[in-house]
């Protein structure tokens, strides 16, 4: 945790959720009482088809919503794409960009991710820029170098604490039940903070929320959130259960 930063717990539903699952968001809202609201910010990133309805369902709850990706373009002949402005129009506050599943399955490079983050900022969304090494890169001792390069290549110049969130998600920890040690997370988050300092200036970098993601569960959240420079979590599977998502939020608070 960074004492001066209010933590953010964001749920990434990925390609899960039909209208019936809006009930999960409503249940999270019911459990997000005054004390928890004071201590931790919450966001849910549903599939695009649910975005507008979810934002409507969450009115008054102070739970934000976010897209899971956005186009680098603002409009035009880009079949199947969703612009940052469209997400904003549907009520979004955030847009995840550069998730490892996008980088791997859709060939997104650091330059692509940066362009998407810039498009998000232009539409007044806060990009949650994801970075993280593969298992092979960690085993080769390259994790720090890979992530620093992703930060340099993916984060828009001029970003501030108010316009940027970064999520460290080791690829090998996503959906596997595996997590890095607290010491490894501490080392990586300190390195990310330092790299952001070089790119954005120390003052801006010191306030940017750095989330940890990858197999965050109620059982490991407190330990992970206690690590220096961990200012919240990006939660996949566990965000689809209201009880688990709220338990993680409480561990963060």
**Interacting residues with ligand 13P (CB under 6 A):** 12, 99, 169, 174-175, 213-216, 234-238
Instruction: Tell the smallest beta-carbon distance from residue 238 to ligand 13P (Å).
Output: 6
> Is 99 one of the annotated active-site residues of the chain?
yes
83 vs 115: CA distance, rounded Å: 12
Q: 137, 169, 189, 229: which is the annotated catalytic residue?
A: 169
Alpha helices in 40-106 (DSSP H): 51-57, 84-89, 100-105
Q: 99, 118, 189, 229: which is the annotated catalytic residue?
A: 99
> Is 243 one of the annotated active-site residues of the chain?
no
Query: For the purposes of burial, counting CB atoms within 10 Å of the CB of 19, is it exposed (0-12), middle (13-18) or buried (19 or more)?
Result: exposed
Instruction: Tell the smallest beta-carbon distance from residue 191 to ligand 13P (Å).
Output: 20
Residues across the chain: 253
Which C-beta is closer to ligand 13P: that of 110 or that of 215?
A: 215
How far, rounded to the nearest angstrom, does the alpha carbon of residue 149 sit from its chain's CA centroid? 18
Instruction: Tell the smallest beta-carbon distance from residue 47 to ligand 13P (Å).
Output: 13
14 vs 22: CA distance, rounded Å: 14
Instruction: Tell the smallest beta-carbon distance from residue 128 to ligand 13P (Å).
Output: 9
Which C-beta is closer to ligand 13P: that of 150 or that of 200?
A: 150
245 vs 10: CA distance, rounded Å: 9
Which C-beta is closer to ligand 13P: that of 12 or that of 83?
A: 12
Which C-beta is closer to ligand 13P: that of 208 or that of 238?
A: 238
Number of H helices and E strands in the chain, helices first, is 12, 8
Instruction: Tell the smallest beta-carbon distance from residue 20 to ligand 13P (Å).
Output: 21
Residue number with the shortest CB distance to ligand 13P?
Answer: 236
Collapsing DSSP states into helix, strand and coil, what is residue 96? Answer: strand
196 vs 204: CA distance, rounded Å: 8
Which C-beta is closer to ligand 13P: that of 12 or that of 150?
A: 12
Catalytic machinery residues: 99, 169
């Amino acid at each position: 945790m960074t004492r001066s930063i209010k933590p953010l717990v964001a749920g990434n539903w990925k390609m899960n959720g039909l209208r019936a699952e809006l009930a999960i968001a409503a249940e999270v809202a019911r459990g997000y009482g005054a004390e928890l609201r004071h201590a931790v910010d919450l966001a849910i990133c549903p599939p695009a088809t649910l975005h507008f309805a979810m934002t409507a369902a969450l009115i008054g709850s102070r739970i934000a919503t976010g897209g899971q990706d956005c186009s680098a373009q603002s409009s035009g002949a880009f079949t199947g794409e969703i612009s940052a402005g469209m997400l904003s129009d549907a009520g979004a506050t955030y847009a995840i960009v550069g998730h490892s599943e996008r980088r791997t399955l859709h060939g997104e490079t650091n330059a692509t991710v940066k362009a998407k983050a810039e498009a998000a900022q232009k539409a007044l969304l806060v990009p949650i820029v994801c970075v993280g090494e593969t298992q092979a890169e960690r085993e080769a001792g390259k994790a720090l170098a890979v992530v620093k390069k992703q930060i340099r290549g993916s984060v828009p110049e001029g970003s501030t604490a108010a316009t940027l969130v970064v999520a460290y998600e080791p690829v090998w920890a996503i959906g596997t039940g595996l997590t890095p040690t607290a010491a490894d997370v501490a080392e990586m988050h300190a390195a990310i903070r330092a790299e952001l300092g070089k790119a954005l200036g120390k003052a801006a970098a010191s306030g940017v929320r750095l989330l940890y993601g990858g197999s965050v569960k109620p059982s490991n959240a407190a330990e992970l959130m206690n690590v220096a420079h961990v200012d919240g979590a990006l939660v996949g599977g566990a965000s689809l259960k209201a009880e688990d998502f709220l338990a993680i939020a409480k561990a963060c608070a």
